[in-house]
Structures are given as C-alpha cells and as structure tokens.
Amino acid sequence: MPSTDEPAARLPDDVGLLTPVTAGAPVAAATGDTAVLAAMLQAEAALVRARADLGLAPGTAADAVTAAARELDVRTIAARSGSGGNPVLPLVADLTAAVAARDPDAADQVHEGATSQDILDTALMLVAAHALDLTLDDLDRTAGALARLAAAHRDTVMPGRTLTQHAVPTTFGLKAAGWHSLVREAHRRLAATRAALPAQLGGAAGTLAAFHAHAEAAGAAPDPGLGLRLTAAYARRTGLAEPVLPWHTLRTPVADLAGSLAFTAGALGKIATDVLGLSRTETGELTEADGGASSAMPHKSNPVRAVLIAATARQLPGLAAVLFGSLMAEDERPAGAWHAEWQPLREALRLTGAAARHAAELTGALCVHPHRMRENLARTGGLISAERLAIALTPLIGRSAARSALSRAARRIAAEGCTLEEALRAELPAVELPDLHELTDPAGYLGAAQALTDRALGERP
C-alpha cells in the first residue's frame, strides 16, 4: 500500500472507491476510457471504410487501421491529450504510426479530411449507444417487475400520504402502477434518443471541404454532393443516425441525451424516494430483499439500492445543466463548451445506467408487507376516512359544520386517546351518527384506485 507522501502521479487509478452507485455495473465498463478509445478507433476505421465505399480510399486501408488499432495504449494517449486539448491528436499520431508499420501506403488514409471533433463526437455517440442499450434492458426489467407488483397488489390497501401525513386510503397497486408509468415513459424517451444518436462529420468548420479537396487532388471531378454521400456512408458504417448537418456547435444530440438521462434518473429517484420512506422502521411497509449491513449496528438492513438510486437522481440535474449549457457553443467550433461536455456526459450515462441496474434488482425482489399497511391504516383510529365522514355528515349538519366537528374530534382523539365514535358523540351530541364502522373501513373508500391501476397496466375495465 502506498505511503501517504507518495506522489499523486504514482497512486493507483480511480477504481470506484467513492462511486458505489456505478461500481461493478456493466455500464461502468461500457463508458470507461478503454471503451471510449475503442469507440474512437471504430470511428476512425468507419471513416476509412466509408471513403472506400465511395472509391476515395483503398479497401485494404480500413483493414490496416482496424488491425493496427489493437496495438494502441489508452494510458499513453491519455497522458499526451493535454497538449492539444483532446485525446484525438495523440490517437491519430499513434494510429498513423501503427498503420505505417503494417502498410505504409495506408497510413495516409488515417483521419484524412476529418477534424478531432468528428472522431470524438462520433465516439461518444457510440459509447452512449452501448450504454443506453444496457440501460434500456434494465428499464424493461424494472417495468416488468413493477407491472407484476401492481397487479399482485391491486387491492392491497395502504395509507395515502400528503405532506408526510396520512391523507386518504389508496392501494399499493396504484402506487406501483405509477412507478411503472414513469419507467415506461423513461424507456420511451431513452429509446427515441438512442435511435436518433448521430454520427458527426464536418471537417474543420462543418463544410466537409477537405473531403472534396482530397477527392479532387486524387483526380476526381468536382462533385457538390460528395460530402453528403460520404456522411451517409459514414453513418452506415458506424451504425449511427445520419445527421442533417454537422453538429459541431449545434448540440441538440447532447442536449437530448441530457434531458432523457435526467428524466430517467428522476423517474427512478421517485421510486427510490418512496421505497426509502416506506422502509422506515416506524413505517415498515416495504423492505429491500437484500438490504445492506451497518458497520456499527448489527440489527440494521439498510435500503442500499434505493439509497444509490436516490444519489444518482440528485446528481443528474447538475450534470444535465452543464450539458444544456453547451448549447451556447460559439462559432463553427467551440472553445471550452465542447470540452466541458465530455466528463459530465459520460458520468450521466454511467450513473443512469447503474441506477437502472439497481432499480431492476430492487423492484424484482421488493418485499411488500400488507400487514404493516393495515396496522398503519388503523393508527389514527379511523381518521384516515375523515374526508368520507365529512361527506356523510354534510347532509345532516352542513359541510362547514361537518369539517369543523371532525377537526375537533381529531384533536380530542390526540389529546384524550378516545375512539373516533366517542370523540364524535362528544362533539355532536344531538346528531344521530351514521354507521361509523362502515364509513371508516379504508377498503370502502378507494374511489377509482383499482380501475386506474388496470388502465395503467393496459387492462381497461
């Protein structure tokens, strides 16, 4: 183990010690430096292959680029990226040298006509595509688990809570159906964003001029449509969408990603927030099947997955704000706005993907405790049905008087510990009360809860 005075440059790399949300999640590897390097190399090889598709490069050049790419080292490229402001410059230098060692004639085809932003933007879209594929799979799992919970607990009555207090009865099925609706919407938004992820190709200032010039220098006749056809071929080779325009300073794809990821994290955060509240010892209506231990208190089983999801939801708005800020990229290539995106974008992809994995595990094994829900419904001695009682008393004494009597009865119950019937008889001695047993049955005051659950799950009554 290194001593505390060892130079920072010699300390081990970041291995996730302070990022338990993403530690061990598949999306962490899918967004790591090695994955980004692989995506940059894929972008470089796709460019050569696209040019070869149009007869602008020999077909063997792309094979040479692909073969040479296996020899590059992410550490040496990263260490030299500061001098030029981005990692593409050292990558191109190393890739060109590696290709030249295999096929000297192919070396000139590396990166021809492109700019660094073409490669890195395309690479980050490729990384995003992989990360979103993993995330979408986990959102599907989560939605399936929530649908099963909602169906299984369609009639499970629990306290509805507003502003932290008991409000009126609801069902756990309706709550789970609401979670399910959020997750399906997150999936819809992410899937649309995933399908639209574009390749980037524009050259130095978004005009594709260098590609035209290289073609004409090689003897081709001037062709105004060359750049457009090359962009289409490049998109096909990368598997990404074809952009209408180069988007060097038109950062819609990044903003769309930011919005979809922030929504997804927030949707999962809503589930986590509810689970955390309902897992409190004094509430006990839910527990995680595999809660975490405490370092000091052996009796505890902490809702760790919900905690990690909530941590993600709190971070994503800040990351999204940085990414939305990059919409104000200046000129035809930005100074700083583009560079500011890289790490927040990767972190947003990584955190959201890991949160989706935790959500799938959490919801797939969530323990629901209907007996605690029944116990909590009874904690106020029937006052959770006060709204229903007020409606029932209104024809007898008027709406205002009914609400006032119930408010006084609630205070009397809290002060004296009496029953609801005793409190109401004391407040309304001259009124013949209706059947309080029936009116205070929470299961009799659910309104459209079951029908709403059915509709959310696609089972319209």
HEC sequence for 91-106: HHHHHHHHHHHHCHHH
Residue from 75, 280, 294, 314 carrying the catalytic annotation: 294
Nearest to 347 by CA among 14, 24, 2, 27: 27
Cα dihedral 276, 277, 278, 282 sign:
positive
Q: Is 314 a catalytic residue?
A: no
What distance separates the 2 farthest-apart alpha carbons in the chain? Answer: 105
Q: Residues 442, 157: contact at Cβ < 8 Å? A: yes
| Cα dist from 42 to 21, 75, 116, 258, 447, whole Å | 29, 18, 14, 24, 57
Q: Are strands 286-287 and 165-171 parallel, antiparallel or unpaired?
A: unpaired
**Burial class for 322, CB neighbours closer than 10 Å (0-12, 13-18, 19+):** middle
Residue with tokens 């006990």: 284
Question: Distance between CA atoms of 121 and 246, rounded to whole angstroms?
Answer: 11
Q: Is 294 a catalytic residue?
A: yes
Nearest to 390 by CA among 329, 433, 361: 433
Catalytic residues: 294, 333
